[in-house]
Amino acid sequence: MLFAKLNRAARLLRFGTRHLLGGSLHGVGLILTRRCNLRCSYCRIISSDQASKAHELPPEAWMRIVDRFVAHGRLHFIFTGGEPLLYDGLDRVLRHTSQSALTSLITNATLLDEDAFGRLQDLDYLTFSWDTLGHASDAPEGLTKNPAAHLPLIVEQCRRYAITPSAIVTVTAANLDDIVPIVRELDALGVSSLLSLIHSGDQTWDFRADVPELTFADAGSQKSLAALASRLLELKHQGVAIAESDAFLTHMADYVRGDFQMDCPAADNFFTIDVDGRIKACHDTPASDLNAQTFGDYEDMRRQVRDTVRPGCNCYYDCYFEARNTPLQTATRALRRTPAGSLITRTLRTLRG
């Protein structure tokens, strides 16, 4: 375990020095598959005509794509889907990518066991989903995105392989009371929380389905969300591991009221490659006509992909806030958890009145 931790630290220094110093770690999301073993009502990825194994690129193609983007300075790759653990050859693509970049994987956690972690041992970051909406999934065998039962195994295996875990916690108008207990439970196990705010839109989105009953359409739910955001900010300032920036938490209620407009960074700091190799500005926008295996001039490609983002595009994903949530802020939160840091925090609050 010590060797794994030392190796991980060396990898961070090799590939993530810019991020450790507070800069943005430019990333590429790889949609290895659009297949999924869940049927969440707020996700429409499996309704795509590409949600079949026949449309998936072979591992060798993904390796070439990774090499092309590494050559242009992209040093962080996020394996996603669908459910990426359903993709044949994931371990091969992961092993290849880990030789030249940092690696992340986003999973619904239903397939995570000791054998799966054995295949993921080259991973740097693991992000798993958690929501408490049993009615939101109509999946085989009653599967849901609630990993509570095997959370100890996930944490133990992440420690074994020195993988940094985090959890995407789904926030809807139907489960607001569940969020703080989940965040606290994750924090107690050393897992940081990210928040996925359900926000339906028109049908131009690639992943999002329109589920009005889960959104914050009325004043009462908006007020409750604002109260939750204030509580999460308080917990974060106490040192609870909430990955989102203060700005993200502060503007959650503004967003659902329609009072917040993002300056979308898609195709600037982030790309996503669709299951068939086409380049997307982000995972929720339609794919461009440009293919990651064959594009020509890099900057010209980037501009063309950026042009696919429709004017006024206003989602609420944490990629927008990533640069505001620097390692310095993370270190500051850790300091606040110490007795001395807690005392300083309380004193400053008193002085501010």
**Ramachandran bin of 75, using left for φ above 0, alpha for ψ from -120 to 50, beta for the remaining angles:** alpha
* Rounded Cα distance, 106 and 125, in Å: 9
Most confident of 140-149, 172-181, 206-215, 267-276: 172-181
Which two three-digit tokens encode residue 140? 């085989």
In this predicted structure, the answer to whether residue 288 has a pLDDT above a threshold of 80 is yes
Instruction: Give the per-residue pLDDT at 27.
Output: 82
For the chain, domains (ranges, CATH) are 2-325 (3.20.20.70)
Whether 273 and 280 have beta carbons less than 8 Å apart is answered as yes
Q: How do residues 32-86 score in pLDDT, each as one tens digit?
A: 999 998 888 888 877 777 778 878 999 999 999 999 999 988 888 999 999 999 9
**Sorting pLDDT into bands at 50, 70 and 90, what band is 125?**
very high
**Sorting pLDDT into bands at 50, 70 and 90, what band is 294?**
very high
* Rounded Cα distance, 341 and 12, in Å: 27
Closest CA to 301 of 263, 275, 268: 268
Instruction: Give the per-residue pLDDT at 203.
Output: 56
**Sorting pLDDT into bands at 50, 70 and 90, what band is 96?**
very high
Phi, psi dihedrals of residue 27, rounded to the nearest 5°: -125, 165
Q: Which range (24-28, 101-105, 125-129) has the least confidence?
A: 24-28
The mean predicted confidence, pLDDT, of the chain is 83
Whether 4 and 162 have beta carbons less than 8 Å apart is answered as yes
- For residue 140, count CB atoms less than 10 angstroms from its CB and return exposed for 0-12, middle for 13-18, buried for 19 or more: exposed
* Rounded Cα distance, 52 and 35, in Å: 6
pTM of the model: 0.85
In this predicted structure, the answer to whether residue 275 has a pLDDT above a threshold of 70 is yes
Q: Which residues contact 114 (CB under 8 A, 6 or more apart)?
A: 153, 157
Closest CA to 16 of 80, 126, 104: 104
Q: How do residues 5-35 score in pLDDT, each as one tens digit?
A: 677 677 767 776 655 554 455 689 999 999 9
Closest CA to 98 of 115, 120, 81, 73: 120
Instruction: Give the per-residue pLDDT at 336.
Output: 47
